[in-house]
Amino acid sequence: MEEKPLRGNLAACVDVLAGLRFDQELVRRLLREEVMEESVTYQDIIQKGVQKGLQQGLQRGKQEEAVLIVMRQLTLRLGLLDPVLQQQIEGLSITRLEELSEALLDFETVTDLAVWLEH
């Protein structure tokens, strides 16, 4: 097989199928990675993985930034928070953090926050 794209696609298909049955290291030794990298199928799989990683990274960054903002607001409003409450807040989704950022405007005590977190 002299056609590089065809050879690369075939190598990628063999890699995927062999990976279902054999150890990853054995498959890597038998198939040269350079040949597989020429495959459009292989490149597509890699590209999808990169895109998924970027999306997850962006989502995580948004969540971390939301936590920082809400924690800052809560500290200004209620003072330093108990580490247990901080952990609960850090575990909230972005949607819940947005809800908390609005609800905290009505909080007068740390108990108000604790009650909100329970519901």
Query: Over the stretch 52-110, which tens digit does the pLDDT of each residue have?
Result: 888 888 888 999 999 999 999 999 999 999 999 999 999 999 999 999 999 999 999 99
15 in Cβ contact with 22 (< 8 Å): no
Question: Could you tell me if 119 and 89 are in contact, meaning their C-beta atoms sit under 8 angstroms apart?
Answer: no
14-31 per-position pLDDT tens digit: 766 565 577 777 666 666
Q: Which of 84, 88, 89 is nearest to 72 (CA)?
A: 89
Predicted TM-score (pTM) of the model is 0.60
Angle in degrees, CA 60, 61, 63, rounded to 5: 65
- In order, the DSSP letters of 90-108 are HTS-HHHHHHHHHHGGG--
